[in-house]
Amino acid sequence: MGDNKRKESRKPQNRAAETLDFQTTSTTAATSSPAIEDVDVIDDTSAVHHLRHRRGRPPKNLRQSRQNPNSLADEAHREQWRPQFGLGGGEGGTVDGRGGEGVLHPHGAQFLASVAEEEAVKLKKRGSDTKYVATVLAIGTECDIALLTVENDEFWEGVSPLQFGDLPALQDAVTVVGYPIGGDTISVTSGVVSRIEILSYVHGSTELLGLQIDAAINSGNSGGPAFNDKGNCVGIAFQSLKHEDAENIGYVIPTPVIMHFIQDYEKNGAYTGFPILGVEWQKMENPDMRVAMGMKPDQKGVRIRRIDPTAPESQVLKPSDIILSFDGVDIANDGTVPFRHGERIGFSYLVSQKYTGDVAAIKVLRNSATLKFNIKLKSHRRLIPAHNKGRPPSYYIIAGLVFTTVSVPYLRSEYGKEYEYEAPVKLLDKLLHEMPKSQDEQLVVISQVLVADINIGYEEIVNTQVLAFNGNPVTNLKSLASMVESCRDEFLKFDLEYQQIVILRTKVAKEATLDILTTHCIPSAMSDDLKS
């Protein structure tokens, strides 16, 4: 987690367009012989409620109408509640209706694919006009892989699985197969492996081993296999680098990550995720720092800056501990460990090879004394999660104030693909740096204000964090809803960031809520997950 390069919170005037482009095909299927060339998403979003798609500022015509105090009815008509995510928009972008591709699992009648979080998908083999309903068995949000199967035996007739190859070396030839933008038939591009390192997986907001290749990877390639010169699958295409000074930089999920996903599912019957070491660390390359920290000339390692309070590591590790080794492998002062053929790689690679629940041996230096700990690893929990994992967004409404929790899909829906530049700085700071203080902590905001007489003067509040209610800290949305529903005080007082407050009369607010819900055709004042 240490030394990550962060994007600036505000967009410069002449910023170069450098982004990692997540290829947002809806789902994928086999490209073995015969291949799958068409995939349809079964639209099952009728129950998916989402808060109104909105930028930080209201539309121009709406801002103008607010100058007239008699135009509240017109505002209420314009500022409609929008109860659904766009299809696929909840997990990383729009669905590519052209379909996708994938890799047939060599262990049996299963596919490895890159999918969105829809209920089901339909698959069609290359050269066939028949579509089959597939079932998603598991989705690996961190590694951008999913496991699918088709129960109809007819589908599997004539289909042969691919074989996985070893992790390729630099300059090894690779061939990427898929159905990218630019046509409807199968596409084959070739290149070489140009880099092997820990990469940022855009879709999962995590860092895992990845291959950089110079074969073209475009929208629609996602989920397609990458072959070596022996015809073995060495990875799955999943993203590319878009930059004005870069050409043909694509990324492939390599076989070690794929096998980790498969074995995790086979071992646990479900995907449990890639564990992390819940610390942020600092390099120890400066010799004066090493001396000051009590390190001997032959000792190397990295300094712990912060520890996730919810991680098991917080029980034994402390800030300023020097991590000397992980599972017996010495860590260099720059945070790398030996890799193959004299190469080096970030030591988070060692952590990613473990499974959730595994125990790791960690050796640290503390006050010039060497200590050893056995730590049970867990998957990462972010204050602002990278995914909703297919669940409808949570919301709570009182007197037209719409409360929800912040997630990456929510930020993307509010501020677009460039949310890392467009979203408020405070939210971005929490996204990049804030750690949860408890397992159930959420970042609760007022997402929007549905215009009504009762909340006049509060209409401009948007995406502002709620800190407390009637003097009690707000830790998550469910606790806020419970406190408001059970409140018997005369006033409802919400303390917001930037020292703002919102105050409403309790009785009037609760009575007005029903009328507001009816006006905006909202079926309930709270999402189903808050009712239990």
Instruction: Just list the catalytic residues.
Output: 107, 144, 222
Distance of CA 21 to the CA centre of its chain: 14
Cβ neighbourhood burial of 127 (10 Å; 0-12, 13-18, 19+): exposed
| Position 478, amino acid | K
Give yes or no for a cis peptide into 12 (omega within 30° of 0): no
Residue 367 zone, left/alpha/beta (φ > 0; ψ -120 to 50; rest) = left
Q: Using the 8-state DSSP alphabet, how is residue 383 labeled? A: S
User: From CA 454, how far away is CA 442, in angstroms rounded?
Assistant: 27
User: From CA 361, how far away is CA 85, in angstroms rounded?
Assistant: 44
User: From CA 179, how far away is CA 401, in angstroms rounded?
Assistant: 45
User: From CA 47, how far away is CA 422, in angstroms rounded?
Assistant: 29
Pick from 113, 115, 116: which is nearest to 102 by CA? 113
User: From CA 74, how far away is CA 457, in angstroms rounded?
Assistant: 16
Return the H-helix or E-strand segment holding 189.
Answer: strand 187-201
Say if CB 104 and CB 159 are below 8 A apart: yes
Return the H-helix or E-strand segment holding 263.
Answer: helix 255-268
| Position 4, amino acid | N
Cα-trace Rg, the chain: 25
Query: For residue 178, what are its two tokens?
Result: 């898929």
Distance of CA 248 to the CA centre of its chain: 25
Q: Is the alpha carbon torsion for 531, 516, 48, 43 positive or negative?
A: positive
User: From CA 273, how far away is CA 250, in angstroms rounded?
Assistant: 24
Length of the chain as a residue count: 532
Query: For residue 340, what are its two tokens?
Result: 């193959």
User: From CA 405, how far away is CA 393, in angstroms rounded?
Assistant: 8
E-state strands within 202-282: 206-213, 225-227, 233-242, 250-254, 275-276, 279-282
